[in-house]
């Protein structure tokens, strides 16, 4: 017998080799897929600040930070004094006249009724506002008011009997407080009003103001109170968007030296008053009280 050295020789079929190569490929592919998924998950978590709940579609946890936001509201400061009056249609007689001082940011309105027939010294002569207006018109009236009161007038708004009534009716009348019942019969007009707050249309309010003018100093004080109520009625939020139209109506109906430029310069103050109303309303008994700083 012959002895022969034997070697371990493995014989593999083609099918077995293909199976092993397939497993190696699958393992490599799995590693690649897992790597891509890991990178994607990392990116998603980073986007949501590593909040897993948010990344999975849950509600994000909200963190509220308190920040101080500068206010866009600019405090408006200023002071203006205007002359208001009403005269007969021919411009020969003043029915009534007021000085009104407006002050911001206090949102304060102070009214002073002027005595139109009270004498005062002007350039060495004795004059009345009524007489100066009849002779020289509104520009000299403004100068006379400034000279007699020592107060600078920033503008004027004047009316006649009819244009005064027209403007009051334009607003649908004014809510005015009548302190006592009135039953008056005069040579020019008659007036009957009940006591209390009521809406007065143009004709009734005109007669009421004329009646007060005939009642001396106390009547003029009530006149000033009525004017403040009129201003309260006009400067209110419901008229805020109509302010330009109101000024247009006023300038086209009444006599005034206030231009659209003047209105534009004071519009922010007008808006402030319309949005918030008057915080302080005062009746002054003298020119000094009209412009006094204390409330």
Residue linked to tokens 């509104």 = 138
Contacts with 174 (C-beta within 8 Å, 6 or more apart), sequence order:
168, 199, 200, 205, 229, 230, 233
pLDDT score at 123: 84
What's the start-to-end Cα distance of the chain, in Å? 140
Going residue by residue through the chain, which has 295 residues, state the pLDDT in tens, using 9 for 90 and above: 334 344 444 444 444 455 555 555 555 555 554 554 555 555 554 544 444 444 444 443 333 333 333 334 456 889 999 999 999 999 999 999 999 999 999 999 999 999 999 999 888 899 999 999 999 999 999 999 999 999 999 999 999 999 999 999 999 999 999 999 999 999 999 999 999 999 999 999 999 999 999 999 999 999 999 999 999 999 999 999 999 999 999 999 999 999 999 999 999 999 999 999 999 999 999 999 999 976 5
pLDDT score at 23: 56
pLDDT score at 122: 86
Q: Helix axis angle, 216-234 relative to 202-213, nearest 10°?
A: 150
CA 131, CA 91: separation in Å to the nearest integer? 11
Contacts with 133 (C-beta within 8 Å, 6 or more apart), sequence order:
85, 87, 91, 94, 116, 140, 141
| H-assigned helices in 48-188 | 52-55, 129-136, 138-149, 161-170
Assign residue 166 a region: left if phi > 0, alpha if psi is -120 to 50, beta otherwise?
alpha
pLDDT score at 8: 44
pLDDT score at 55: 47
pLDDT score at 70: 36
pLDDT score at 272: 94
pLDDT score at 124: 87
Both tokens assigned to 77: 């400061």
pLDDT score at 50: 47
């Amino acid at each position: 017998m012959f002895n022969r050295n034997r070697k371990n020789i493995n014989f593999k079929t083609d099918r077995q080799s293909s199976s092993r190569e397939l497993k190696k490929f699958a393992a490599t592919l799995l590693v690649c897929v897992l790597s891509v998924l890991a990178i994607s998950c990392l990116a998603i978590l980073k986007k949501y600040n590593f909040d897993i709940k948010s990344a999975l579609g849950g509600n994000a946890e909200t963190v509220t930070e308190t920040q101080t936001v500068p206010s866009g509201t600019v405090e408006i400061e200023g002071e203006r004094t205007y002359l208001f009056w009403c005269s007969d249609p021919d411009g020969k007689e003043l029915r009534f006249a007021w000085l009104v001082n407006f002050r911001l940011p206090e949102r304060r309105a102070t009214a002073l009724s002027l005595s139109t027939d009270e004498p005062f010294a002007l350039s060495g002569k004795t004059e009345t506002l009524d007489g100066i207006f009849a002779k020289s018109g509104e520009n000299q009236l403004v100068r006379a008011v400034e000279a007699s009161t020592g107060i600078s007038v920033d503008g004027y708004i004047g009316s006649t009997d009819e244009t005064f009534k027209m403007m009051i009716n334009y607003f649908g009348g004014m809510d005015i407080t009548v302190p006592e019942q009135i039953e008056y019969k005069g040579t020019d007009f008659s007036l009957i009003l009940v006591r209390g707050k009521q809406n007065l249309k143009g004709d009734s309010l005109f007669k009421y103001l004329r009646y007060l003018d005939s009642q001396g100093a106390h009547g003029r004080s009530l006149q000033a109170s009525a004017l403040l109520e009129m201003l309260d009625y006009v400067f209110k939020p419901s008229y805020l968007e109509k302010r330009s139209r109101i000024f247009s109506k006023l300038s086209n109906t009444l006599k005034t030296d206030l231009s659209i430029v003047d209105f534009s310069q004071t519009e922010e103050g007008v808006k402030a008053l319309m949005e918030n109303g008057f915080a302080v309303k005062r009746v002054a008994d003298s020119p000094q009280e009209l412009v006094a700083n204390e409330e």
